[in-house]
Amino acid sequence: QSRLRSGQDCGASNMSAFTATISQTLRPSVRIPTVHAPRRSHAYKISSPGLARRCSGVQLLYASRKSTSRIVGVERRGVVRCVSANAAAAGDGVVKPSGISNAAATANVVKSIMGAGCFALPWAFAQTGYLFTTAYMIAAAALCMYCVACMQRAREIVVAKDPSVQPSTESYSGLSVATIGPIGGKISQLMVLVCCFGISSAYLVFVASTLVTVLQAPIPGAPFTQNFLITCITPILVALSWMRSFSGVSIISLFGNISVVIGMVAVLVYASGLGFNMAAIPAVNLAGFPVAFGSVAFLFFVHFTMPPIESAMEKPKDFFGSALNAFILSTVVSAAFGIVGAICFGPDVPSVVITAMKGASVVAVVKLLLCMNLLCTFPIVTRGAFQILEEFMGGEENLSDIVIYSTRSAFVIAAAYCAIAIPSFGKLLGLVGGVCCTALTMIFPPLMLLAASKAHGIKLSFLEVFWLFLIIIGGVGIAGLSIGS
């Protein structure tokens, strides 16, 4: 946010405060045209240097004591337009806010959910049975959607009481601060950072180790070690980390979703050739739940990626519907893939199903698609961490491009160093995911709603309060099991 110094008054009596996120400062030599429509539409010069350079067409936020000025938009780079309520009703000078569509938001959420973890689902279904696994997969998806609703309701409560906090609630940690308070916000920030950092390092390890098996066979004697490939892949992740527009991320997500679908189809085609044997796996096996639940539940524990996607939408109020569509689609596709994979490969299916596939060319293609999917997921997963780092340094709008890109590059390079330096990183990632992802999905969203409701006098029913505490206790229990294991 920044204060705007106006080229003319624009009805100062009607506008008490005017805040915005702007893209670019005009050069001093550029003359700002005056809009000749008194008290209806006026142009503003953006004079604050170092503002974010990416908001042409983005909806702006402001506070007004009166409702005579309601719509603010970017007329073009460096010019802000204020439109009166009457003009807005008449359609004069209204600049439509730009953002990603509902379908693009759904694609981004699907990309956050479905990734390399999908290829562990046949193993999970073989462990706990096709009926039982399907049941708790649906329950996990429903629980996650309820937690999404908790986050949205908590945001609506605090924004209704204080509209000035709206921009800060566009990140997970900012929403935690606005609802739970500074301490809760700091804890959530730490967990998001650790989670994103751990996932980034895991992606590097997984992609590099997978490419080693793909490249060494066709190129005998080639010195492709895992650490060498991590070094080669790091510049690609650095370039992906520089993506600041969610429109570009949406395109990347589309490619990632396509790569996952093609990879899953390849596995299913291969599995169908083995034959279907429903008797190979049980319908219900409660004993396998402790080891298999993580593969299913953590498929959906991606709530720290949700606020940036919602805030990037053209119509943020439609986010719940987009997220619901994404969770339904992901649940149906994942369940079908897991059941077919389990009954075709049998009870001895490995935890990563592609390793059970024979045939060098088919396996190589599936592995490459899986690597592509992880690379496409990276910009979405790390976005929350970048928001926290940039807010800590004063906010993206107050930072130069060099500082932003340098910070993001340093984050990726540090993750690459961690991937090379820590040999047992898989266990560390399991701990980070089990504790941080569970807390960010099952503990913080209910706490957000409880704290916001209590602070602003919103009464929740006894049954809902009981349910919220039950979810929190369940999240604490899962986190404890992760630490104990």
What's the confidence (pLDDT) of residue 65?
Answer: 31
Neighbours of 376 (CB within 10 A): 23
Residue 75 phi/psi, 5° resolution?
-75, -40
Instruction: Report the alpha-carbon distance of residue 178 to residue 197 in Å, rounded.
Output: 24
Instruction: Report the alpha-carbon distance of residue 327 to residue 330 in Å, rounded.
Output: 5
Is 240 in contact with 252 (CB distance < 8 Å)? yes
- Low-confidence residues of the chain: pLDDT under 70: 1-98, 216-223, 246-253, 298, 355, 359-360, 422-433, 482-485
150 Cβ contact list (under 8 Å, min separation 6): 445, 446, 448, 449, 468
> Strand locations in 204-339, DSSP E?
none
Residue 20 phi/psi, 5° resolution?
-160, 160
User: What is the Cα Rg of the chain in Å?
Assistant: 25
Q: Which two tokens stand for residue 372?
A: 């592509």
Instruction: Report the alpha-carbon distance of residue 95 to residue 81 in Å, rounded.
Output: 8
Is 382 in contact with 211 (CB distance < 8 Å)? no
What's the confidence (pLDDT) of residue 219?
Answer: 62
Question: What are 62's strand-pairing partners?
Answer: none
Grouping H, G, I as helix, E, B as strand and the rest as coil, residue 171 is coil
Q: Which two tokens stand for residue 235?
A: 């510049």
Instruction: Report the alpha-carbon distance of residue 85 to residue 81 in Å, rounded.
Output: 13
Neighbours of 181 (CB within 10 A): 12
Instruction: Work out the end-to-end distance of the chain between its first and last CA atoms, rounded to an integer number of angstroms.
Output: 45
Q: pTM of the entire structure? A: 0.67
**Residue 136: exposed, middle, or buried by beta-carbon count in 10 A (0-12, 13-18, 19+)?**
middle
**Residue 76: exposed, middle, or buried by beta-carbon count in 10 A (0-12, 13-18, 19+)?**
middle
Count H helices and E strands in the chain, helices first: 17, 5
Instruction: Report the alpha-carbon distance of residue 387 to residue 355 in Å, rounded.
Output: 37
What's the confidence (pLDDT) of residue 132?
Answer: 92
Is 411 in contact with 140 (CB distance < 8 Å)? no
Q: Which two tokens stand for residue 478?
A: 């899962």
Grouping H, G, I as helix, E, B as strand and the rest as coil, residue 42 is strand
Instruction: Report the alpha-carbon distance of residue 342 to residue 122 in Å, rounded.
Output: 5
Helix ranges (H only) for 102-245 are 102-113, 121-128, 130-161, 172-179, 182-216, 226-241
What's the confidence (pLDDT) of residue 349?
Answer: 85
Instruction: Report the alpha-carbon distance of residue 421 to residue 169 in Å, rounded.
Output: 36
Residue 433 DSSP symbol: I
Q: Which two tokens stand for residue 208?
A: 């590099």
Is 113 in contact with 330 (CB distance < 8 Å)? yes
Question: What are 308's strand-pairing partners?
Answer: none
Helix-strand-coil split of the chain, %, nearest 5: 65, 5, 25
